[in-house]
Structure formats: C-alpha cells, structure tokens
Chain A
Amino acid sequence: MSQAVVSVNAGMLLPVLAPAVGAAVVLVVDVAFQRLRRAHYVIALVSLVVGAVATLAGLGMVAGGARQTLCLPGGGQCMYAADSVASALQLAALLAAAVTLLLSWPDDKKQSRGGTAVIVSLVLAATAGATAVAGARDVGSWLVALELATLPTVALVALRGASSAISGAVDLLTTSLVSFGLLALAAGLWFTATGSAFLNPAAALMVIHDPTRRPILVLAVVVVVAGIGFKLSLVPFHAWTPEAYDGAPLPIAAFLAGVSKIAALAALLVVIRAVAPLGAPPLTAIAIVSAVSMTLGNVMALRQDGVVRLLAWSTVAQAGWVVLPLATVSSAAVRASGAYLLAYVLATILAFAVVAALVQTRGAARARNLTGYRGLLRDHPFLASALALALLSLAGLPPGILGVVAKVVALRPVVASELWLLAVVAAVNAVLGVAVYLRWLRAVLASPDSEAKASARQVPDGGASVAALSVRVHPATLVAVGFSAIALVVTSLSPQLILGLFGS
C-alpha cells in the first residue's frame, strides 16, 4: 500500500497538461506583471502548440493501440488512454482553441472586460478539459473533464456584460447543470450495471450474459446521449445554442462551435466505444435525435437573417450529421463521426473567422447581418473566397471536397446497416443544408445593393463613420483566417489527411 497508487507518465499527458499549465502560468504572470496583455496570448499559443505537437505521437496508432497512463498497479486498467481517435480530437481541439485566441487578440484601443488574463486562462482551462475528456477512461475523470470543458465557457459568454450575453450565459449555465445531472446519473447507472468505474469494453463486456443488468447499461447509454445532447446542441436539447452564440463575443461563439463540440463528441465517443463490442442493435434513439436535429436545425437556419444565429442553427443541424453514423454502434461509425466533426469544425471556424474579420472592417451591424454581405466578393475577394469555401464545405458541395467526403463518410455506416429511412432523411437534409448555405453565398456573390452604394456615396460627409469602417483587419485575425483557409484547402485537396487521423 505504500507504493504509488497509479503510474503517471507526464509525457503522455502533455496534451492535457500543456494548456492546463499554460492557464496557471498566465494567471501567475498576470499577478507578477500587471501591465502585460499580449504576453498572455503568446504564452497561451505556445502552450497550445506544445500540446498539439504532443498529440502527434498518438496519431496513426494501429487499431487497438493507445498511449496509456494513470494505470492501476499490477498491470491494471488505465484511467487515461489516447488512441488515434482521441489524439485526433485533442489535436483538433488545441488548434481550434489557438485560432479562437487569434480571433480574440487584443487591439490597442479597447480594454476587454475582465482583462486578457482571465479570458486566456478560461479558454485554456476549457481546452484542457476538452483534451482530457478525449483521453478519460474512468467515470470520475470523464465527468470532471467534461465539466471543465463546459463551465469556463459560461464565464466567457457572460464576460461581455451585455444583457444578451448574460441571458445567453444563463441559458448555457442552466443547460450545463441539467446536462451534468444527467451525466452524473448515467455515471451511476454505468457503475450499477458494470460494477466498474472504467469506461472500457472490458467493463461493458461484464454485462453481456446478464439479462438483468443489460437494460441498465442501455439506459446508461441513452442518458449519456441525452446529457451530451445538451453540449452537442442536439434537438431537443438545443434551445440554448442561438442565444449563447448570439450573446457571446464572436471568438467565444467560435470556441463554442469548435472546441466545445469536440469535447462533447469526444465524451460521447468514449462511452460509445466502450459499448461497441457488445454488438448493440442500432440505437434508435440516436437515429431519431439525429434526424430531428438535422431537420429542425436546417429549417430554422433557413429563417435566420443574422449570420451568427444562422451558424448557431447550422450547428444544430450539423450535430445531427455528426451523430448520424453513431446510430449504428461500431468502430467504423466512431471514426466516421469523428471525421465528420473535424470537417465541420474546420469549416465553421473559418466561417467565424471571416465574420470576425468583417466585424472589424465593415462594422458589427453589417457583418452580423446577411444583407450586409452583398458585394463582399467585390470588396474583399480573399475573405469572400474563404467564406465561400467554408460555406460550400458545410453544404458538402465541391469545391469544398472535404465536405463532400465528410458526407460520404457519415452516410456510409448508415447505408451499411441498411437504415434506408434514416439515409433518405439525411439526403433530404443535405438539400435543406445546401439551401441554407447558398442563401448566404448568394449574398456574398451578389453585386452591392443600392443601399450600400448610397452609404458609400455619403462617405465624404460622415467622416467619423468612415474612420470606424475603414479600419484594417487586425493581423492576428488575418492569420486566423489564413491558417483556417489553408487548412481547409489542403484537406479538401487531400481529405485523407483528416480521415487518416482516425486510423483505419
């Protein structure tokens, strides 16, 4: 009993430790040197990049292989395991967080509320939660990590201080608490069914021959789906999404759409992979939730005129696509779901980055409204092309080949299990999705409307507004747009880069 309880390998934990340590360092630096602002961002970016590099070792693992640590003595089970799926999700979360930070890079004029140290450390903490949950293999750390990924985002949304931000934060907080309650219940059910605190196939297999415990395990999985449904914005747990996205500052909305979704799916995949070897029948619950999410999300997105709300409802619809393959519980479905999520995150982050850039040049009123995008191609060809590529990727149409391939990937397990009805619903939703994104794209390609021309003509008169609107895009924002755009172009040319992350 005097030995260490568990073995610890800090190197393997680096994807989690780097952002966590980064958060602590930022806070310490803030106390020591109070006037620094950009240094926080530099520290944060360095820690995220270190974490991202550390995930590379876990990529491309053969099936079944994983970097395990926090193991019980005597070759027992491990509480942390990063296989190729977990590592890929960690990598995506770290890079998405880095882009988010670039988007919120402070400029000289505005003092952000709460100070940069608070924002940066909250982002890093939530990112550490996201990377931790991907690797968590026991009920306790899984639950804690998932909440670590969620709770800082509540503060991040609220920090803007506007009443819309507060109401969005309250929505987010309330749903997070409900979600936490459900997940705690699910954790209890899991323990009741399996008698094990570990979320791995070995635990799940214990119930395979026990007809009384099996229903409890199924119930646990269903409750997990409900609890994660809140975080993934699946219908009927989606209601917070438009409020929170719209109320939050843009970079934080991008964080919610990117890193938070990665954390949520990573948590879901941990459970799904644990029960996959049971050979469960198709999960009708997931199929229904997926079909309804896609449909409602797309229909509501079609009615939005604000781009952030449109992106919020599009998240709801895309969340349906993300869990679509999981209606068939299999390892192929897990890989498909992860690959689809990454394609979605990449395209959505790019869309948010372009919106953030436009807020700086064209003003928030125009950049947040669909009609404000008229003539974008003429005024900002680079931003417009990047946005077009992002939207077409989300719609799943060439030249967004990554989106096309993601659609193929997501549909494949469904078709393989002969869930024809679900496949047809998905096909119809592909059409609705195209309608949503082309509505935006049409505005981007359209010639500038007369109203914009009129205001352009008034430029010589209203000097102040001109100064406000002709501000150049912040270099950090441009870097964020450029980085995401290059990533999307490269992965569109070679989608295998994304698919390969998840092993074969």
Chain B
Amino acid sequence: MILLLAALAIPAVTGTSLIVAGRGSATSAEGNANLLSLAASVATAALVIATVIARPVVDYLWLPSLGVRFHFAVDGISAPLLILTAALSVAVVVHARSHPPRGGSPTTFYGCLQLVELGALATFYARDAVLFFVAFEIVLIPMWVLISRFGDSHDLAARADASGRFVLYTVLGSTLMLVGILALVQSAGTANIDALAAAHGAGMARHTQIIIASLLLVGMGIKIPVWPLHTWLPPAHTIAPTAGSVMLAAVLLKMGTYGVVRLVIAPLPIGFGALAPVFGAVGVVGILWGGLACLVENDLKRLIAYSSVAHMGFVVLGLSSGTTVGLQAALFANVAHGVVSALLFFLVGGLKERWGSADLATARAALREVSPRLGLALVVGFAASLGLPGLIGFWGEFLAMFAAWNPAPDRPQGLMRVLAVLAVTGTAVAAGYSLRVLRLIWSGDRTTPAHADARGGEWSVLAVLVAAVLVLGVAPGLVLNSTIKDVTAITSEVSR
C-alpha cells in the first residue's frame, strides 16, 4: 500500500515542487533539474514494478458526499501499461539530457513531465470511475504547457493553435466521458470499476446501455483518437517537443483504449455490442485514412502522427470484435504502439534537430551512410510499424484481424469480415509508407550534409526501445500472459 502511494506521491511532489519552487533556486540549473527528475522517475519506476509484483490495494473514502473513493489497485490489464508509462518516463528524462528543452525554464519542463507521469499512472491505477476521470484530467494542463511553451515550432500562432486544439478536444472528450461515467455510476449503483465489471450491465436496460456506451465511446474516441475525431493529433505531435510527443503517443493515447476496456466493454456488454460494428468500422476507416495520409505526407513528425491514427485503428478493431483474442490483440497492440511510437518519435525528434526541419522533400544524407545507429533504429521502427512478423507490431495487428474474421457470436459476421479484409489492405498501405520513408531517408549514397550519429543518452534510449521491439516481437507472451486472466473474465461474460 505504501508502495503504491509512494509511486504516485513521488511524481506529484517532484513535479509540483519543480514548478512552484524550482524557479530561481539551485534546481533551476538545467543539470540539477534533470538529475532530480531522473532520480524521481527511476524511483517511481522501481516502485511501479514493485506494485505490479506485489499488487497492493489502496482504498479509502475521499468524497463521502459523492461516494468517491480513493481506490487504487493493479491487475493484469493495467500492469503492462503501468510499466510502459514508468519506463518511458525514465526514457524521456534520459533523452532530454542530450536534448535540453528550449523555450522556457527547465524546471517547468521537467515538472510538467512528472505531472504527466502522475496523471497517467493514477489513471491506470484508479479503481473508482469518478477518480479515473479526475486522474484522466491531470495530464491535460502539463501537456498543454509542454506543447505551448516548449513546442519546437518557430511559429507562435501554430503553437498556440496546436496546444489549444489538443486541450479543447481532450476536454470535450473527457467531459462527455464524465457524463457517461456519472450515468454509468448512477444506473449501476456503484463507482467501483471491479464491481462494475463484475455486474456486466446486469439490470440495465438495453437503450440505457447504448446511450451510456455511446457517450463514453465518443468521449474516449477523441482521446484514442478514432477517425473522424483525430484531427487534433497531427498538429499536436508536429509541434510538441520530443518528450511531449513520446508521452502523448505512447502513454496518453493508451488512456483512451484502456478506458474503453474498463468502462465500456466490461460494464456495458450489451450497449457496446450494439455499437461495436460502428466502432470497428470507424477504426478501419482510421487505418486506411491514416495510412493513405502517410503515403503523401511530407512532414516526418506528422507522418508518424498519422501512422498512430492507423495503429490505434487496429486497437479499435480488436476491441470491437468482442472475443478474448480481439481484446488480447488490442491490449498488446496498445503496448506495441507505445514502444514503436516512442522509438519513432525519439528518432524523428533527434533527426529534426539535426536537419533543422522534418521535411521529407529536402534531399538529405542517407542515414545508413552517415549515422548507422539512427539508421538501424529507423529500420527497426518502421519494420515494426508495418507489422513485420518477429517484431512487436506484428502480433497485435495480426491477432486483431484474426479476431475480426472470427468475431463474437452477437457481432454481424459479414460486416466484421469485410472490416478484417479492409484492415489487411491497411497493412499493405502501411508497408507502402514505411518503405517510402526508408527509401527517402535511409537508403541512398548521399553523405552530405553530414550529421552526428546518436550517442550517449539518445543512443541508450533508442537501443533499449529497439531491444524491446525485438524481445516482445519474439516473446509476446510476456504481455499476453499478464492480461489473459482478466481479459477472459471480461469476455467469458460477454459471450455468454
């Protein structure tokens, strides 16, 4: 119990004190702020791993008037996401050692990163639906500050636009989600996420379930993001600093899909079943839309943002299938996208700094010639992104398509098979854009203008992520075995 509270308290205290008290004190020096947050992130990561092993529970009444409990716990579904969050929080701090933040005080930068970590961890730990909402909101302002103050655009207006869009879209999503959560809590009579899941919507009328599920799906669909609610994502990613992009893609987007599993699929099986075909269809539209956008996009950062839309489409497709395999696929693809997008955003952030822009149309030195380490990471990243077997990207997407081909009995089989076929087309598109990027910046013989290869903090972060891509590609069971028990608990009831 102490472990779990400490895992939340460390980023909370470090983040707040860096922002409030850091200015003008000794920590305001770049290196000190980095060291302090590195220590905090490492300690948090150790505590998170300890909680994943020990599975402590924290539970006391927070708001008696509303019946909201301060209830945190860990289970198989949240464990991989917790570890992902904690590990990437360390990675962004290590990476920032060699790529210091620009545009504002370093204490604010590191403080905001800590608060983003706090919000994400609290979201994945939360076991009370209203508390989940509060935790969900914590990441907003720090991320807004990261994009609007530390964004790497020269254009102030673009920064204001991107950060504003991010925060406004997300607030719309989370407030709709709040309405859905309140309705769910009201009709189910409990805010306990485990109790909600165990009840499986018992005693709730079909139309009530559909209304609540649609509110929740639209709300979280903005966060995931699901086509056509994705339009905030590309500008936010394009403008955000590397650390912001990584946390946004690898952690914050996962909060949406995680919420769908926790608050829609488990407690509202009938409502979700009715909406699943539509949900799956927009997911597949996202796969194709994102992929096609990637084929013509010339800004590398924006391209990866669109590929995120496509990858999250596979997650959505897996969720909508309603089977154990589909849910497993979605949760695995969630983690896979977290690792791959983090790798790619670290890479592209570094390349953008070296090149001065992320424009693909400009002729550059081929990465395999001048910077073999960056080149290797890029090849692995895009190979994983196109779903090559043996790499991390393969399992989630392959299993999602498999699950869509064999959906749960209450899903329209014909439609789901059409969606599966379209998703396969999407992987072909993914191969197309991945190879396009590799052709443009990796292959070739040009050696000018030369740039430095990755080393130090940057290389160690990239190397660890490349290793994660390979290890989880070869041994997906590390994640799948963690989630299987809790996933079966959800789907066995769904298909009953």
Q: Which residues of A contact B (CB under 8 A)?
A: 335, 339, 381, 385, 392, 397-399, 401, 404-405, 407-409, 411-412, 415-416, 418, 420, 423-424, 426-428, 430-431, 434-435, 438, 442, 445, 447, 495-496, 499-500, 502, 504
From B170-178, B370-378, B426-434, give the one contacting chain A: B170-178
What B residues does A495 contact at CB under 8 A? 63
Q: Of B141, B148, B211, which one neighbours A392 at CB under 8 angstroms?
A: B141
Give the CA-CA distance A423 to B216 in the complex, in Å. 13
Can you name 9 A-B residue pairings with CB atoms under 8 Å? Answer: A398-B134, A399-B16, A401-B134, A415-B183, A420-B179, A431-B172, A442-B160, A445-B145, A499-B65
B residues less than 8 Å from A407 (CB atoms): 175, 178
For the residues of B in contact with A, the DSSP-based class is helix
- The CA-CA distance from A278 to B20 in the complex, in Å, is 51
Q: In whole Å, how far is B104's beta carbon from the nearest beta carbon of chain A?
A: 8
**Residues in chain A near residue B175, CB distance under 8 A:** 407, 426-427, 430-431
Query: CB of B127 within 8 A of chain A?
Result: no
With known contacts A431-B171, A438-B144, A496–B63 Cβ distance under 8 A: yes
Is A420 within 8 A of B211, CB to CB? Answer: yes
Contact with A along B57-99 (1 / 0, CB 8 A): 0000011111000000000000000000000000000000000
Closest to A434 in B: B171
A405-B66, A496-B63, A499-B63 are known; give 18 further A-B pairs, CB within 8 A: A381-B24, A392-B141, A397-B140, A397-B171, A398-B119, A398-B134, A407-B175, A407-B178, A415-B182, A420-B179, A427-B176, A427-B178, A431-B171, A434-B171, A438-B144, A438-B167, A445-B145, A504-B65
Verify A411–B182 contact, CB threshold 8 A: yes
Q: With a CB–CB cut-off of 8 A, which chain A residues contact B36?
A: none
Q: Is there an interface contact between B64 and A504, defined as CB atoms closer than 8 Å? A: yes
In the complex, chain A residues whose CB is within 8 Å of the CB of B215: 420
CA distance A442 to B159 in the complex (A): 11
Kindly state the separation between the CA atoms of A434 and B364 in the bound complex, as whole angstroms. 42
Question: If A431-B172, A435-B164, A495-B63 touch, does A399 touch B178 (CB 8 Å cutoff)?
Answer: no
Contact call B171/A430, Cβ cutoff below 8 A: yes
Assembly CA distance A408 to B65 (angstroms): 12
B24, closest chain A residue (CB)? A381
Q: Which of B160, B168, B178, B186 sits near A408, CB closer than 8 Å?
A: B178
Counting from the closest, the 4 A-B pairs by CB-CB distance are: A499-B65, A427-B175, A415-B182, A430-B175
In this assembly, does B402 line the interface, its C-beta being within 8 Å of a C-beta of chain A? Answer: no
Q: Which of A398, A496, A504 contacts B62 (CB 8 A)?
A: A496
Interchain CA distance A174-B172 in the complex, whole Å: 38
B55 lies within 8 A of chain A by Cβ = no
Bound state CA distance, A335 and B64, in angstroms?
14
B133 touches A408 (CB 8 A): yes
Q: B186: which A residues are within 8 A, CB to CB?
A: 412, 415-416
Known: A431-B172, A445-B145, A499-B66. A423 touches B179 (CB 8 A): yes
Q: Are A424 and B130 in contact (CB under 8 A)?
A: no
How far, in angstroms, from A412 to B129 measured CA to CA in the complex? 13
Note all chain A residues with C-beta closer than 8 A to B160. 442
The number of residues on chain B lying at the interface, defined by a beta carbon within 8 Å of a beta carbon of chain A, is 37
The reply to whether B168 and A381 form a contact with Cβ atoms under 8 Å apart is: no
From B63, B141, B164, B168, A398 is in contact (CB under 8 Å) with B141
**A434 CA / B144 CA spacing, docked (Å):** 12
Report the minimal beta-carbon distance from B134 to chain A, rounded to whole angstroms: 6
CA distance A481 to B141 in the complex (A): 23
B65, A496: Cβ atoms closer than 8 Å: yes
- Minimum Cβ distance to chain A for residue B321 (Å): 28
CA distance A437 to B144 in the complex (A): 13
A412 to chain B, nearest CB (A): 5
Residue numbers in B under 8 Å from A408 (CB-CB): 66, 130, 133, 178, 182
- The residues of A that contact B65 with a CB separation of less than 8 Å are 335, 339, 496, 499-500, 502, 504
A502–B64 CA distance with the chains assembled, in angstroms: 12
A445 touching B149 in the complex, CB below 8 Å, given contacts A434-B167, A435-B164, A499-B63? yes
Residues of B close to A496: CB separation below 8 A: 62-65
B138 at the interface (CB under 8 A from A): yes
Please measure, in the bound complex, the distance between the C-alpha atom of A339 and the C-alpha atom of B66, giving whole angstroms.
Answer: 12
Report yes or no: A412 in contact with B182, Cβ–Cβ below 8 A: yes
Chain A facing B: main interface SS: helix
B134 and A411 form a contact (CB under 8 A):
no
Residues of chain B having any CB pair with chain A under 8 Å: 16, 20, 23-24, 62-66, 104, 119, 130, 133-134, 137-138, 140-141, 144-145, 148-149, 160, 164, 167-168, 171-172, 175-176, 178-179, 182-183, 186, 211, 215
B208 to chain A: closest CB distance in Å? 8
Assess the A427–B179 pair: CB atoms within 8 A.
Answer: yes
Asked if A500 and B64 make an inter-chain contact with CB atoms under 8 angstroms apart, the answer reads: yes
On whether the beta carbons of B134 and A404 are closer than 8 Å, the reply is yes
Contact B176 A424 (CB under 8 A): yes
Q: Which residues of B contact A415 (CB under 8 A)?
A: 179, 182-183, 186
Q: Which residue of A lies closest to B65 (CB)?
A: A499
Contact status A385-B20, CB under 8 Å: yes
Bound Cα distance A398, B62 (Å): 16
Cα distance A423–B104 in the bound complex, in angstroms: 38
What's the least CB distance linking B142 to chain A, in Å? 9
CB distance from B424 to the nearest CB of A (A): 37
* Contact A411–B167 (Cβ < 8 Å): no
Which A residues lie within 8 Å of B168 (CB)? 431, 434-435
Contact B172 A438 (CB under 8 A): no
**Measured CA separation A428–B148 after assembly (Å):** 23
CB-CB < 8 A to B171: which residues of A? 397, 430-431, 434
Tell me the minimal C-beta distance from A233 to chain B in angstroms: 23
Are B138 and A398 within 8 A (Cβ)?
Answer: yes
Which residues does chain B contribute within 8 Å of A409, judged by CB atoms?
66
Q: How far is the CA of A409 from the CA of B64 in the complex (A)?
A: 12
**Nearest Cβ distance between residue B445 and chain A, in whole angstroms?**
44
Q: How many Å lie between the Cα of A397 and that of B149 in the bound state?
A: 18
Q: Which residue of B lies closest to A385 (CB)?
A: B20
Closest chain A CB from B223 CB (angstroms) = 14
CB < 8 Å neighbour of B66 from A381, A412, A428, A434: A412
List residues of chain B with CB within 8 A of the CB of A428: 172
Within the complex, the shortest CB–CB distance from A97 to chain B, in Å, comes to 26
Residue of B nearest to A416 (CB): B186
Q: Smallest CB-CB separation from A420: which chain B residue?
A: B211
Task: Note all chain B residues with C-beta closer than 8 A to A420.
Answer: 179, 211, 215
- Give the residues in chain A near B141, CB-CB below 8 Å: 392, 397-399
Q: Which residue of B lies closest to A499 (CB)?
A: B65
Closest to B149 in A: A445
Cα A427 to Cα B183 with chains together (Å): 14
Cα of A499 to Cα of B179 in the assembled complex, Å: 20
Point out the residue from A385, A442, A500 that lies within 8 Å of B148, measured CB to CB. A442
Residues of A within 8 A of B178 (CB): 407-408, 411, 427
Which residue of chain B lies nearest to A417 when distances are taken between CB atoms in the complex? B186
- Residues of chain A within 8 A of B134, CB atoms compared: 398, 401, 404-405
A contact residues around B149 at 8 Å (CB): 445
A293 to chain B minimum Cβ distance, whole angstroms, is 17
- How far apart sit A416 and B178, CA to CA, in the bound complex (Å)? 13
In the bound complex, how far is the Cα of B171 from the Cα of A435, in angstroms? 10
Central interface residue in B130, B148, B167, B178, by most chain A CB within 10 Å: B178
A304 to B160, CA, bound (A): 18
Give the docked Cα–Cα distance between A495 and B137 (Å). 16
Closest Cβ neighbor of A418 among chain B residues: B183
Q: Are A438 and B137 in contact (CB-based, < 8 A)?
A: no
